[in-house]
Amino acid sequence: MPSEKLDLKNLDMSHLKKIIYNCKQATFLIEKKAFTRLSFREVIELRIHLYGCYFCRLYGKQSRMINDMVQELFRNSMQSGIRLDDDFKKELQERIEEELNK
């Protein structure tokens, strides 16, 4: 029986190491968090990773800043009433269709 517990501990440590060293998953969760609510497990995994990873913490800060700037830009353009020219819209649509047909 004691060897069985040891295996479970190793399994838990293995999972913990995957969380700690998985920057790809952490950046995915950072982006997901910007648009939807994370599960309890995802929140814990992200916190564990961010606690030890300077680069992902920096990525998170930069991602939030970019999202905030884009939202502000969008709000300002909507308030100012800026609209695309109809000819530009038509040309853009034609270019998109042309690219899709390649």
Identity of residue 72: E
Q: Give the model confidence (pLDDT) of 25-61 as tens digits.
A: 999 999 999 999 999 999 999 999 999 999 999 999 9
CA atoms within 13 A on the CB side of 33: 19
Q: Give the model confidence (pLDDT) of 68-92 as tens digits.
A: 999 998 888 777 777 778 898 899 9
Burial (Cβ within 10 Å: 0-12, 13-18, ≥19) of residue 45: buried
Residue 12: pLDDT band with limits 50, 70, 90: low
Instruction: Kindly report the pTM of this predicted structure.
Output: 0.61
pLDDT, residue 10, reads 52
